[in-house]
Amino acid sequence: MGQPVVQFQILARNPDALTAFYAALLGWRVNADNAMGYRTVDTGSDRGINGGVWPIGPTEGHPLVQLFVEVDDVAASVAKVEQLGGRIVIPPQALPDGDRLAIVLDTEGLSLGLMQRSG
């Protein structure tokens, strides 16, 4: 099946202002009507991928763009990350919609999301 990049995420100090910026600039549609108040981003195109915006506080790191890759088994992928010299930021966990997610750092310290779809 491969492991495709299925989503991007932007971590932002002011997610409302940032999503308003991208909506005005690029016409992206933003929706925060979900269990976590996550700002989903629909880019309005059948090409490319959609994404989301998550808030960070003043001491929780810095704004960044993060890719999410779909994997068959999040726990096995996290174990492989550690074997390859990466680090775990958020261990595997279930999301409200049933998907599983982990956040890891690669060997350069770049953040990467690993997702396992529930269905």
- Amino acid 85: pLDDT: 95
**CA dihedral over 76, 80, 83, 89, signed as positive or negative:** negative
Neighbouring-strand partners of residue 113 = 68, 103
List the pLDDT tens digit at each of the 119 positions of the chain: 689 999 999 999 999 999 999 999 899 999 999 878 799 999 998 888 999 999 988 887 789 999 999 999 999 999 999 999 999 999 999 999 899 999 999 998 999 999 999 97
Taking CA atoms, 82 is separated from 6, 11, 86, 90, in Å, by: 22, 24, 5, 13
What is the helix (H) or strand (E) element at residue 87, kind and residue range? strand 87-94
- Amino acid 1: pLDDT: 62
Token pair belonging to 54: 């998550």
Domains of the chain, CATH where assigned: 7-62 (3.10.180.10), 71-119 (3.10.180.10)
Q: DSSP for 8-45, please give it.
A: EEEEESSHHHHHHHHHHHH--EEE--STT--EEEE-S-
Q: How far is CA 103 from the centre of its chain?
A: 8
- Amino acid 104: pLDDT: 95
pTM > 0.85? no
